[in-house]
Amino acid sequence: MTPLLQVSDVSKFYGHRIGCKDVSFNLYPGEVMGIVGESGSGKSTLLNCLAGHLTPDTGAVQFDTRTDGLRDTVTMSEPERRMLSRTDWAFVHQHACDGLRMNVSAGGNVGERLMAVNARHYGDIRDKATDWLGRVEISADRIDDRPTAFSGGMQQRLQIARNLVTGPRLVFMDEPTGGLDVSVQARLLDLLRGLVREMNLSAIIVTHDLAVVRLLADRLMVMKDGHVVETGLTDQVLDDPQHAYTQLLVSSVLQV
Amino acid sequence: MNDYNFAYLDEQTKRMIRRAILKGLAIPGYQVPFASREMPMPYGWGTGGVQVSAAVLTPDDTFKVIDQGADDTTNAVSIRRFFEKTAGVSVTEATADATVIQTRHRIPEEPLREDQILVYQVPIPEPLRFLEPSEIETRKMHSLEEYGLMHVKLYEDISQHGAIATAYAYPVKVEGRYVMDPSPIPKFDNPKLEMDAIQLFGAGREQRIYAIPPHTQVVSLDFDDHPFEPTKADHACDICGAEDSYLDELIVDDQGGRMFMCSDTDYCNGRRAAGNAGTQSIPMEATE
Ligand SMILES: Nc1ncnc2c1ncn2[C@@H]1O[C@H](COP(=O)(O)OP(=O)(O)OP(=O)(O)O)[C@@H](O)[C@H]1O
Ligand SMILES: [Mg+2]
């Protein structure tokens, strides 16, 4: 099977400081990969390199495009990469305000990606937006409200709807449950798990919450100081960690 | 002779502006940056339009200034006087007699000809600005033709008002390529943007010039199920009886009495002089 994403030796430096170094892995269709590690370990740097927001200093990020098969997204032209960003890829930010237009209604936020790919029928756009708000448990009568009038959890769910409405093939998420209350996190996780299964989503999820990966991720990558120190099936890594750092990570969580 | 260089600006500056204009004409709807100069009038008074006019005027031109359709507002009068004084050009209020027309917020009702130039004063040249404040990002959107955001604005309009409520500065796509702000003209004027004359747009504070060459396709953006409509008040002009012109509504007494009259004063006067009359018109002689 062709991997959906093939990452080879990706490194990114900030001056002399390592962002992430020599990261390689394959992601197969329908697979969810979790990336965990302490603060500053390079998770966001890696994710942004994969999603085309940062240009890696070395390495290749091959994506299985619909028309031409595997293509290196690092070297493809910017218009092509931006086209992928608004069609086949989705990016869910930790802070909803980075991923939403706060001065545009919920319906407009969800509709934007449709209009970006030339949807020109208002009624259809609105129907799809209404449907997607329902799927993320936002009631239809909030469609004309701005995200500023929403709670943090609702904003995050809106961001997810806005990203998934065009049926992306790969979803990047950076701490999608970070900064939310524990009970709100649980509901969001439930919702995400449902959508991942139902849509058979391929996703890469950055988090430092092991509960999130336990629930969502098929495979797990552990990062420390910009390097991948351990990788494997989620249950395997969490139940039988090999690397000393992973053991520490797992045990510190279990003590909580 | 007077103490100014012809049309106030020095030759060097006018050449720089002409280059921007030519580039604008070569890439219809594209915003060309230019080094806007200080003019002896505040921004918001048409400094962009004035610089463009200064760069295209020749001693043989006849100049007209329209402000919201009228030739006699303070703004229109001061710009007209400015070029009378600095360029010594003849001036007129008659659309047909003018070779260069500087306008704020209107396109004349009378169709313009190939030997005329229409210069617009533009406050905000970037149509994507309302939803995307970053200049770097909007430039990228233009260069990659990513115009979905423009429809988000129209979507918001319909969801709030039940119809596209944008009545002025209604966005257009020029020659199938660049999305452009036509300046705050009423959308009633949008169909006239496809014309025989050259149209030049100058934004002084924002330092941008853009253009529509003659006979260029200009399409107003819309949705399939909410098509563009160039609306106006559903009335005839009470002065000249015109049914096809853009109307201003006037409150005429304390009882809420109102009347409608052409916003294009020259058009209205021309029709009256030709013997047309509206329901409230006073005979022409009596007003003089
Ligand atoms: N823009 C930047 N300029 C310089 N250094 C940076 C920049 N962004 C990140 N870094 C550094 O790169 C390293 C990795 O940072 P990164 O943000 O990828 O970590 P992270 O794992 O996402 O952390 P967190 O869990 O706190 O979000 C850190 O040492 C960080 O200080
Ligand atoms: Mg991070």
Mind listing the pLDDT tens digit for each residue in A221-232? 999 999 999 999
H or E segment to which residue B260 belongs: strand B258-262
Closest protein CA for atom 5 of ligand 1: A14
Q: Which pLDDT does position A129 carry in this prediction? A: 98
The residue among A218, A236, A173, A232 whose CA lies nearest residue A30 is A218
Ligand 1 contact, A42 CB (< 6 A): yes
* Mean pLDDT, chain B, integer: 93
Confidence of residue A251 (pLDDT cuts 50, 70, 90): confident
Active-site residue flag, B24: no
Mind listing the pLDDT tens digit for each residue in B104-138? 999 999 999 999 999 999 999 999 998 899 999 99
Selected residue of A77, A87, A103, A104 to mutate for chain B interface (largest B Cβ count, 10 A) = A104
The residue among B58, B68, B53 whose CA lies nearest residue B119 is B53
Residue A30 pLDDT > 50? yes
Average pLDDT over residues A228-245: 95
User: Does A78 sit within 8 Å of B144, measured CB to CB?
Assistant: yes
Mind listing the pLDDT tens digit for each residue in A97-137? 999 999 999 999 999 999 999 999 999 999 999 999 999 99
Give the C-alpha separation, B279 to A173, whole Å.
Answer: 67
Distance A156 CA to ligand 2 centre (A): 17
Q: Which pLDDT does position A67 carry in this prediction? A: 92
Q: Which pLDDT does position B286 carry in this prediction? A: 46
Active-site residue flag, B275: no
Residue A255 pLDDT > 60? no
- With a threshold of 0.95, does the pTM exceed it? no
Burial of B27 (0-12, 13-18, 19+ CB in 10 A): middle
Q: Which pLDDT does position B288 carry in this prediction? A: 44
Q: Which pLDDT does position B284 carry in this prediction? A: 56
Question: Three-state DSSP class for B202?
Answer: strand
Mind listing the pLDDT tens digit for each residue in A142-183? 999 999 999 999 999 999 999 999 999 999 999 999 888 888
Residues 233 through 252 of chain A touching chain B, CB cutoff 8 Å: none
Quote the minimal CA–CA distance from B224 to chain A in Å.
5
Ligand 1 contact, A44 CB (< 6 A): yes
ipTM score of complex? 0.91
Q: Which pLDDT does position B53 carry in this prediction? A: 98
Contacts 24+ apart (CB under 8 A), A77-84: A78/B144, A79/B144, A81/A52, A82/A52, A82/B144, A82/B146, A84/A52
Active-site residue flag, B44: no
Mind listing the pLDDT tens digit for each residue in A191-213? 999 999 999 999 999 998 888 99
Its sign, for the CA torsion A210, A211, A214, A218, is: negative
User: Does B156 sit within 8 Å of A112, measured CB to CB?
Assistant: no
The number of the ligand 1 atom at minimal distance from the alpha carbon of A47 is 18
Task: Please identify which of the residues B24, B48, B202, B240 carries the catalytic annotation.
Answer: B240
Residue A254 pLDDT > 60? no
- In the predicted model, residues of chain B with pLDDT beneath 70 are 1-2, 282-288
- The answer, for A76 touching chain B at a CB cutoff of 8 Å, is no
Question: How big is chain A, counted in residues?
Answer: 256
Given the structure tokens 């099936």, which residue do they identify?
A: A233
- Got the DSSP string for B28-87? TT--EE--PPP-SS-TTSSHHHHHHHHHH--TT-EEEEEETTBS-SHHHHHHHHHHHHHH
Q: Which residues of B touch A116 (CB under 8 A)?
A: 146, 148-149
Give the C-alpha separation, B26 to B152, whole Å.
Answer: 29
Active-site residue flag, B268: yes
To test the ligand 1 pocket, which listed residue (A10, A11, A13, A14) has its Cβ within 8 A of the most ligand atoms? A14
Quote the minimal CA–CA distance from B261 to chain A in Å.
35
Strand boundaries in B105-164, DSSP class E: 117-121
User: Does A104 sit within 8 Å of B152, measured CB to CB?
Assistant: yes
Q: Which pLDDT does position B42 carry in this prediction? A: 75
Burial of B161 (0-12, 13-18, 19+ CB in 10 A): exposed
The number of the ligand 1 atom at minimal distance from the alpha carbon of A20 is 14
Given the structure tokens 């507002």, which residue do they identify?
A: B73
Q: Which pLDDT does position B280 carry in this prediction? A: 85
Q: Which pLDDT does position B45 carry in this prediction? A: 78
